[in-house]
Structure 1
């Protein structure tokens, strides 16, 4: 069995798309996901499965959420090895705790076109740095993510992709829980 981490986009935000974590765990177990754990209310699920296709699991989980809760939720799933690689490849990594609080990971669901990426790489945002890798955009928000211009919605719009963002602490905790 492979251990996966699912990242749901846009649940339990400002009172919309409410999904109680206990019900989400039950739902996951009902579709044969094993050893299901959730972490915080923003839609992070750790589980094991014999299915070895993240895209198949994404579709299965998205459909189950739609059927159970009545709304669509974008789902991104990564293996623990993929999450570990994302963390290890962070170009802004630092041992400084104040820097760690500025680090965010925008997980993207598909690869943007080459033309779109080239244009996006020329963008500049005050107090923000970014680096693009396969499946992830690394953000360093010097003034905090709440004030960032380069946020999840902008990235989705500019790159024409589905994305979801997690901070450094959450990504590390998910990997720790999955171990």
Structure 2
């Protein structure tokens, strides 16, 4: 039995740097033995089916293959569709009432608890807010990510040191949930 996964690549195809063409990413995933491969947007979202049940092994395999193919390292997260559905279902903000650009999910490589963000005065950023979930941070930024002071603070090296994290707007999260349905 195979599982549908989403691969979330971090920091590619930004301002013409670290180019990973999506057609080549699809080919690479197929060459790795995965089925039903597709991509979404140019920002590093791929969906595939695999018989493997080990997302960490899939992640390591994909990172090695991307480094070998493109000549630079790319951090990846691999998450099963069931996990993505649980992220969408557990959203603490009224996602249906918000524009996709106002709500973001930052996915982490491991669980992160509130103590990780203890140095951040979240109240100083209102009406922006964040909440933690299972290996995910939900960010409500009413004016969008580009204008978000809270997103900027959350991305500071002191808070992200040692973590692999990559963010997606809510429209992308919803699309990946749809694309990973078994």
* TM-score, normalising length: structure 2: 0.89
Which segment drifts farther, 19-28 or 143-152?
143-152
Alignment partners' CA distance in 2, 1:94 and 1:171: 11
Name the counterpart of 1:171.
Answer: 173
Q: What's the CA shift string for 1:129-167, capped at 9, x where partnerless?
A: 100112000000011110112337833621431110001
Q: CA RMSD, aligned part only? A: 1.9
Q: What's the CA shift string for 1:81-125, capped at 9, x where partnerless?
A: 000000010000243244x431100001123466424x1564332
Name the counterpart of 2:122.
Answer: 123
Question: SS in structure 1 opposite 2:154?
Answer: helix
Is residue 12 of structure 1 aligned with residue 37 of structure 2? no
Name the counterpart of 2:53.
Answer: 52
What count of residue pairs does the alignment treat as equivalent?
A: 177
Structure 1: gaps spanning 5 or more residues:
none
Which segment drifts farther, 37-46 or 141-150?
141-150
Q: How does 1:145-160 map onto structure 2 within 5 Å? A: 145-151=145-151, 154-155=154-155, 157=157, 158-160=159-161
Name the counterpart of 1:64.
Answer: 65
CA shift in 2, pair 1:49/1:103, >3 Å: same
Structure 2: gaps spanning 5 or more residues:
none
CA shift in 2, pair 1:112/1:46, >3 Å: same
Query: Residue 152 of structure 1 contacts residue 165 of structure 1 at CA under 8 Å; is this kept in 2?
Result: no
* TM-score, normalising length: structure 1: 0.90
